[in-house]
Chain A
Amino acid sequence: SQPLAGCQAAELQSKVVPSKQILHSDNMEMEPETMETKSVTDYFSKLHMGSLVYSCTSKRKNK
């Protein structure tokens, strides 16, 4: 059974071919989720927004 065993060995070697599939598809790397954020200061900043408006003059001229 030697020649047959050799034939089997050749067959064994030639057939070791992994499918491309799961090897490279189960480690897909996704981007992170984005969550919406709230802050306890949001509300306060909105309340005071109106009073924070001020204008500035564009240039001060130095002589």
Chain B
Amino acid sequence: RMEASCLELALEGERLCKAGDCRAGVSFFEAAVQVGTEDLRTLSAIYSQLGNAYFYLHEYAKALEYHHHDLTLARTIGDLLGEAKASGNLGNTLKVLGNFEEAIVCCQRHLDISRELNDKVGEARALYNLGNVYHSKGKNVASAGTHDPGELPDDVKSALQKAANYYEENLTIVTELGDRAAQGRAFGNLGNTHYLLGNFRSAVLAHEQRLLIAKEFGDRSAERRAYSNLGNAYIFLGEFETAAEYYKRTLQLARQLKDRAVEAQACYSLGNTYTLLQDYERAIDYHLKHLVIAQELHDKIGEGRACWSLGNAYTALGNHDQAIHFAERHLEISREVGDRSGELTARLNLSDLQMVLGLSYSTNNSMMSESHVVENSFNGGRPRGRRHSMENMELMKLTPEKVQNWN
């Protein structure tokens, strides 16, 4: 009687998770665990599904706990396939938590067992997971520094190269198996790996394949992702018009899919692309669209970026009133969100603009001297032009020497 009730609860949990209601599914699975069962295989399946449900709910600490329980159980009952699956899930969870070395061990275990069992499908999935772990590892180390894609330290490069190799291995198998959906996923992530490695042509080729498969499936989210990634690659190939075309398709699909955050990102990318094309009117148009959505979504960081971009574009057009207006708002928002480097950038922009407008400096002396102090520590004495870095964006401006000449 108790057995049946645990099973019934678990089946309802499965049904709810399949229907996309993970939160409710979790409640039923946890109730099933409370009731308990003597059958360790059933319990293992419940733990595994709890782990996945928590993973999709972005509660990774809980996901880790349950996948770990599942792994322990699978080993206890000598269920090799169950152990492979639990290892893979544990690996994915550890990856998201940034524990790459342990993630690699788990995903490798998934791969080894799959090969031992001659399970081609499992092998391919493990290879994809391993690719993802190495990609994350590379990206994680890379983001600590600031460099363009393609200009990478050796450890980053080797992690990304490994990721590319695993995706290629995965592609060989899933192509043999005729699994188009899996091919699509591998092409997408392979494209992003090539992009980070600076192989922009290879990135384009992979994303074009991803796009093709997305269209085959009528998967509009995947199609939108491919357009966005293609746009990014074309930016670095210096083909800004082509990039703009892809970003426009991204924007179109974002609107169709009614995803405001993604729509904002597309507008921002378009604004930046038109800035690179030196078409500042269009840039302003898209940055204003981005600003409206950022405000609507209460995205302060995005709003700050929009104001900063607008300030630049208006400066480029020589519209100093608007430039100052947005630089001031950028300063305000940077203070609000505690973004020190944004605040510094905004102050320097404002002081430069004030100089251009020939404003009196009597009131700004303290501000100027302060920005000098920060600037010097900021640049660490690198023999380069002054950098106003905000989110690694570069804005070459007046040099400190010139500022001194003004005083």
Tell me the A residues contacting B by CB distance below 8 Å.
Answer: 1-2, 5, 8-9, 11-13, 15-43
Known: A12-B353, A20-B235, A25-B232. A43 touches B41 (CB 8 A): yes
Q: B144 contacts the other chain (Cβ, under 8 Å)?
A: no
Q: B215 contacts the other chain (Cβ, under 8 Å)?
A: no
A39 to B18 Cα, complex, angstroms: 11
- Taking a contact as CB atoms under 8 Å apart, the answer to whether A12 and B315 are in contact is yes
A9 to B275 Cα, complex, angstroms: 18
Pick the residue among A12, A15, A23, A37 that contacts B48 (CB under 8 A).
Answer: A37
Interface centre among A15, A25, A37, A40 (most CB of B within 10 A): A40
A sample of 13 cross-chain residue pairs with beta-carbon separation below 8 angstroms, ordered by A number, consists of A5-B355, A8-B398, A12-B398, A16-B316, A23-B272, A23-B393, A24-B272, A28-B229, A31-B184, A31-B186, A35-B52, A36-B122, A39-B14
- Chain B residues with Cβ under 8 A from A28's Cβ? 192, 195-196, 229, 232
Interface residues on B, range: 35 or more
Name which residue of chain A comes closest to B14, CB basis.
Answer: A39
Pick the residue among A21, A25, A30 that contacts B188 (CB under 8 A).
Answer: A30
- Taking a contact as CB atoms under 8 Å apart, the answer to whether B45 and A29 are in contact is no
Q: B10 contacts the other chain (Cβ, under 8 Å)?
A: yes
- Taking a contact as CB atoms under 8 Å apart, the answer to whether B395 and A15 are in contact is yes
A interface majority secondary structure: loop
Q: B161 contacts the other chain (Cβ, under 8 Å)?
A: no
- Chain B residues with Cβ under 8 A from A19's Cβ? 148, 392-394
Pick the residue among B146, B186, B357 that contacts A21 (CB under 8 A).
Answer: B146
Known: A9-B318, A13-B318, A27-B228. A22 touches B10 (CB 8 A): no
- Taking a contact as CB atoms under 8 Å apart, the answer to whether A31 and B146 are in contact is no
- Taking a contact as CB atoms under 8 Å apart, the answer to whether A18 and B276 are in contact is yes
Q: B334 contacts the other chain (Cβ, under 8 Å)?
A: no
- Chain B residues with Cβ under 8 A from A41's Cβ? 11, 14
- Chain B residues with Cβ under 8 A from A29's Cβ? 188, 192, 225, 228-229
Known: A19-B392, A29-B229, A31-B189. A38 touches B195 (CB 8 A): no
A49 to B46 Cα, complex, angstroms: 22
- Chain A residues with Cβ under 8 A from B52's Cβ? 35, 37
- Chain B residues with Cβ under 8 A from A1's Cβ? 358
- Taking a contact as CB atoms under 8 Å apart, the answer to whether B45 and A43 are in contact is yes
- In the complex, what's the smallest C-beta–C-beta distance from A36 to chain B, in angstroms? 4
B interface majority secondary structure: helix
Known: A29-B229, A34-B125, A43-B45. A8 touches B393 (CB 8 A): no
A3 to B7 Cα, complex, angstroms: 84
Known: A26-B391, A34-B128, A38-B82. A8 touches B316 (CB 8 A): no
- Taking a contact as CB atoms under 8 Å apart, the answer to whether B232 and A27 are in contact is yes
Known: A8-B355, A21-B148. A36 touches B89 (CB 8 A): yes
A10 to B86 Cα, complex, angstroms: 62
Name which residue of chain B comes closest to A8, CB basis.
Answer: B356
Known: A8-B356, A13-B318. A33 touches B46 (CB 8 A): no
- In the complex, what's the smallest C-beta–C-beta distance from B250 to chain A, in angstroms? 9
Pick the residue among A12, A20, A38 that contacts B236 (CB under 8 A).
Answer: A20
A39 to B52 Cα, complex, angstroms: 12
- Chain B residues with Cβ under 8 A from A27's Cβ? 228, 232, 265, 269
- In the complex, what's the smallest C-beta–C-beta distance from A17 to chain B, in angstroms? 7
Q: B147 contacts the other chain (Cβ, under 8 Å)?
A: yes
- Taking a contact as CB atoms under 8 Å apart, the answer to whether A20 and B148 are in contact is yes
A29 to B186 Cα, complex, angstroms: 13
Pick the residue among A13, A25, A36 that contacts B149 (CB under 8 A).
Answer: A25
Name which residue of chain B comes closest to A32, CB basis.
Answer: B185
- Taking a contact as CB atoms under 8 Å apart, the answer to whether B394 and A18 are in contact is yes
A48 to B186 Cα, complex, angstroms: 36
- In the complex, what's the smallest C-beta–C-beta distance from A14 to chain B, in angstroms? 8
- Taking a contact as CB atoms under 8 Å apart, the answer to whether A9 and B392 are in contact is no
Query: Within B245-304, which residues are at the interface with A (CB < 8 Å)?
Result: 265, 269, 272, 275-276
